[in-house]
Homo-oligomer: A and B are copies of this chain.
Amino acid sequence: MKIAVDAMGGDYAPSVVIEGITAALYDFPDCELVVVGHLGKISYYMEKYGIENHPRIKTVHAEEVVEMSDPSTAALRGKKNSSITVCAKLLRDGEVDAIVSAGHTGAAVAATKIIVRTLPGIERPAIAALLPAQHGQFILIDAGANTDCEAKNLAQFALMGEAYAKLIFGHEKPKIGLLSVGGEDVKGNELTKEAFKILSEMSINFVGNVEGDTIFENVADVVVCDGFMGNILLKGSEGLAKAIMHWMKDIFSKNPIRMTGAMLARSAFKELKEIGDAEELGGAPLLGIKGICVIGHGSSTPKAVRNAIRVASDFVRFDINEKITRRIIETNMMINEKDKNENSSVHGNE
């Protein structure tokens, strides 16, 4: 299996990315890794970590880098030789099975969408984020690829999320919910009210609207939303978790008895911090494209990069795109069948 890694993507690239690649190289012996980046800048680190002549390592030169301050379209317009663009081309040409980048998310989405293209029946790819629930985890899709969506996009996200849930939870019929502001179908905004109707008619295990206050209570395995919404919820959760850690520190250091208590329980605080740890998760897949793309956090550590490569290899092995495509075809067939029946019943009434 071949995986290309954008060595220039991320706040501490290329150093930490190449350190992460080194770890992955030894931990995943069935993977060949293609390091994509400016050769002048990466060779020092390749040598430093002693992987420059490794038989399962290849390098591909990319002249430019999409910076965090660049627009998402930079990968396609101004910087056509950027590392993420080169990664996308390798994926399109079948040179690799998957790509991994901790760089500019918008650029990775734009590059793969336009260069690699979406699966048949999918109009927009979406980022699927794994969030912690009271017991286990749930998938939030779209977590940030599309700021403005139509209802049919949300329906496609549901099928993509369903395939991902089968991979990680092993359920045949994962519960799929729609992020909204009220339990009933009449509640929500224009987008979710329309999406509710479509999702209700699909052959999925649709559990209806899911509200913010119960989303962490295992009410659904997959929660569908537009990428603006999803990104705010995802980052808002990150922000709140940070704030709670801050308040705890403040509150526990108020007197010596509390401090003693906190010290005795320090392993518990460590364990708490590890819940939903971005480093452990590695990265979130961008689903719906003709290939595998895993997007890491900008502040990825070497361990996070290693784990993002692991996530990519899991997806390749699971052949998720075959599963998404099959469900898209089944669902379209079902909708066509329904249309036919409705049309014939209309004719019957004439």
A148 interfacial by beta-carbon distance below 8 Å: yes
For window 22-79 of A, CB contacts with B under 8 Å fall at 69, 71
Interface string of A226-270 (1 = CB under 8 A from B): 111101111111111111101110011010011011111111100
Q: Decide if A181 touches B144 in the complex (CB within 8 Å).
A: yes
B236 and A251 within 8 A (CB): no
Which of B132, B214, B237, B268 sits near A254, CB closer than 8 Å?
B268
Q: Chain A at the B interface: mostly helix, strand, loop or mixed?
A: helix
Knowing A212-B234, A212-B237, A228-B188 are in contact, say whether A244-B244 is a contact too (CB < 8 A). Answer: yes
A212 smallest CB distance to B (angstroms): 3
Residue of B nearest to A232 (CB): B212
Please pick, from B192, B240, B265, the residue contacting A237 in the complex, using a CB distance under 8 A: B240
> Would you give the shortest CB distance from A228 to chain B, in whole angstroms?
4
Kindly state whether residue A186 has any CB partner on chain B within 8 Å: yes
Task: Tell whether A268 pairs with B258 under 8 Å between CB atoms, given A212-B233, A216-B240, A235-B213.
Answer: yes
A133 at the interface (CB under 8 A from B): yes
Complex Cα–Cα for A239 and B254 (A): 27
Chain B, Cβ-Cβ closest to A234? B212
Contacts of A254 in B (CB 8 A): 268
Quick check: B265 and A71 within 8 Å, CB to CB?
no
Q: How far is the CA of A229 from the CA of B229 in the complex (A)?
A: 7
How many A residues are at the interface, by size bracket? 35 or more
Contacting residues, chain B, for A215 (C-beta < 8 A): 236, 239
Q: Is A272 an interface residue (CB 8 A)?
A: yes
Instruction: List, in ascending order, chain B residues with CB within 8 A of A211's CB.
Output: 232, 235, 239
Is the CB of A295 closer than 8 A to any CB of chain B?
A: no
Say yes or no for A349: interface residue by CB 8 A criterion.
no
Cα distance, A171 to B267, chains bound together (Å): 42
A239 touches which of B216, B241, B260, B267 (Cβ 8 Å): B216
The answer to the question of A271 belonging to the interface, with a C-beta cut-off of 8 Å to chain B, is: yes
Residues of B contacting A261 in the complex (Cβ-Cβ under 8 angstroms): 260-266, 268
B212 adjacent to A181 (CB under 8 Å): no
Interchain CA distance A214-B242 in the complex, whole Å = 9
**A265: nearest chain-B partner, CB-CB:** B261
**Is A122 among interface residues, defined by CB-CB distance under 8 A?**
no
Please provide the 8 A-B residue pairs with the shortest distance between their CB atoms, ordered closest to farther: A212-B235, A261-B264, A261-B265, A212-B236, A216-B243, A147-B189, A213-B235, A213-B239
